[in-house]
Chain A
Amino acid sequence: MDLGPHGAFIVAAYATAAFVVLGLIAWVLADHVAQRRLLADLEARGVTRRSKSEAA
């Protein structure tokens, strides 16, 4: 595919966009895993949320 004389600008734009979008996805997924792990750790130590303990 011929991108013409400004091909490097086109490739740089798409590469940066891919990097940022994949970075956002990775950040959201990693944050989810971290929060789930913290919650599981607290629950394993017997700490429960007020609404949960009130419901029980």
Chain B
Amino acid sequence: MALIDLANPTRFLALTARALPWLGAATAIAFAIGLYLVWAVAPDDYQQGATVKIMFIHVPNAWLAMGVWSVMSIASIGTLVWRHPLADVAAKSAAPLGAAFTFLALLTGSLWGRPMWGTYWVWDARLTSVLVLFLMYLGVIALWRTVDDPARAGRAAAILTLVGAINLPIIKFSVDWWNTLHQPASVLRVGGPAIHPSILTPLLIMAFAFGLLSVTLHLAAMRNEILRRRVRAMWLMQAHAAQGA
């Protein structure tokens, strides 16, 4: 099967029906391994103590917050350039997931910040730009709900998504461009990770588990959206038939 064949909604549904059980199982196994390493193997940090355990959920969610918007941006290009309905479906289905991951990144960061920084929140560049990302997710979701026609909503949401993508490098480099209470990058940085392997390994496995969760939920949500559009098309056909009778 060629990759382009997957862009056919019917073939996409058949593929997801086969893939989702395996992806779900792989996600559960990855979380089991990750949580075992976090709670039974990884040592406490020499400065932060056990509070470092919050990092194992904060960092993957922060990465996904940006990763999901990147996926939505690529899908938006598909919507605007090729007008492919599956691109719309991909972008729309990803938005609630991205909002949830961003919410978790903000909340766990806040719960980590209170004992480490002495405050739940500070208006520094990193925290504020991630809050803006969260608000943009809510804006895109609201836009999808406001416009009834999926094709029109898709184009408007695609433009908003691509404009919002400007925020991604701002989030990434905010800790380098401005003085922030938030620490600079310690994993994805020039010169390699600054974290000891005993903590880095569980972190990467938890990131992998959250990544798998994101892919699994995204495919499942895309499947739901395709079905929703079929229901809508059938309702419209029924309404036209009733008018013609």
Contact = CB atoms under 8 A, between A and B. Distances in A.
Q: Do A and B bind each other?
A: yes
Nearest to A46: B238
A6 B108 contact: no
Contacts, number: 92
A3 B235 CA distance: 55
Interface residues of A, number: 34
B215 interface: no
A25 B217 contact: yes
A5 B114 CA distance: 12
Contact of A35 (B96, B97, B213, B228): B228
Contacts of B108: 13, 16-17
Contact of A32 (B39, B61, B103, B220): B220
A39 B217 contact: no
Contact of B238 (A7, A13, A25, A47): A47
A50 B241 CA distance: 12
B224 A35 contact: yes
Interface string B64-100: 0000000000000000000000000000000011001
A20 B112 CA distance: 18
Contacts of B169: none
Interface in B211-245: 213, 217, 220-221, 223-224, 227-228, 230-231, 233-235, 237-238
Interface residues of B, number: 36
Contacts of B114: 9
B125 to A, nearest CB: 23
Nearest to B44: A4
Contacts of B217: 24-25, 28
A17 B57 contact: yes
B110 to A, nearest CB: 9
Given A3-B50, A28-B221, A35-B224, A16 B104 contact: yes
Interface of A: 1-7, 9-10, 12-14, 16-17, 20-21, 23-25, 27-29, 31-32, 35-36, 38-39, 42, 45, 47-50
25 contacts: A1-B39, A6-B115, A9-B112, A10-B53, A13-B108, A13-B111, A16-B104, A17-B57, A20-B100, A23-B100, A28-B220, A29-B220, A31-B224, A32-B227, A35-B227, A35-B228, A39-B234, A42-B234, A42-B235, A45-B238, A48-B234, A49-B233, A49-B237, A50-B233, A50-B237
Interface of B: 39, 44, 49-51, 53-54, 57-58, 61, 96-97, 100, 103-104, 107-108, 111-112, 114-115, 213, 217, 220-221, 223-224, 227-228, 230-231, 233-235, 237-238
